[in-house]
Chain A
């Protein structure tokens, strides 16, 4: 047996934030080439670019499962930019330390988060591109914020509704257009 701390064992036996998010804003599937471990991560991002929800599934040892659980606890509620700064040494510290042979386990969680955020940005980029391509038809519509699942605008409710329909059609999924500041 590895020398695992009580905190680590608690996160292994009772992992936090396990599961998946339906229609996640960011999704990733990563694997550790070093030991064959694998992890799926889903994130939900709120209008302030904070991680509102985060869920994981892991194939791996106690160290890998506990690291993933710890990462989700640390990242939850943080602005995306802040969450990306979480270092694997901080994950190890959060767990009260880890055997050196297990440091690579905590790296996988970081990669998963990085990749899920990249997926979030890509999805948002797709929406932004589509918004750009349609915007010329809506002279009185002003874009406030773009999100993978919604777009905030200033303008008439008629325009907003029409814009939402066209966006959803073009992207092949429902995009909610919300009127901002009212």
Chain B
């Protein structure tokens, strides 16, 4: 039997994809001025909340901790997570972190997770399937490697029973059932659930919840290991791709299918 669950959910503050997004500065890093909680991390938060609610929630001693690493604005991703229902929030923030690639990000997040587990180690780390800016899906696998935890990634269904985790993972040619013992690292897809929105009660309750700010010194990470200098990859050049422009638009007058084929033939696509 599992006793009280301690779940850390990783939430990232990312540029809102509804606006134009930019790479800026010497290191071609992402401009974070118009940012939000990554919508893919809402599925991770929802999965964590469902796991603890099925076991009596916070009243039964279960906890969901939302952890975000990022500049000052990233605290907004933590606040939103608290409004949605996380029990407490942690913001890892340090100027030296700017420009971290996946390797440096996973190094810092792994240290933060160890720090948060110093007294009671977390049973589960849950992440989104990808960040909507980096889109690499490298961080969850790298965290599993660094923390030496079973990796249960791209879960589209998740069950927990007596300290044993079972998940469904869909591939292109097959679907797998994956099992692991706790503690484990899980990433979830957007197929797993329908994330809830913060309601008025949640927004009011969030005001009373704690947000802890951690620096690199707090988690024992040397600033030289992270940021642009500590990263193992460097973006040398970044060119905006010319925006696609609309071509010919016609309205069907009974022969658009034939016009379509004529277009394909003219483009040598038949």
Whether A and B are associated in the same complex: the answer reads: no
Chain A residues close to B by CB (< 8 Å): none
Chain B residues close to A by CB (< 8 Å): none
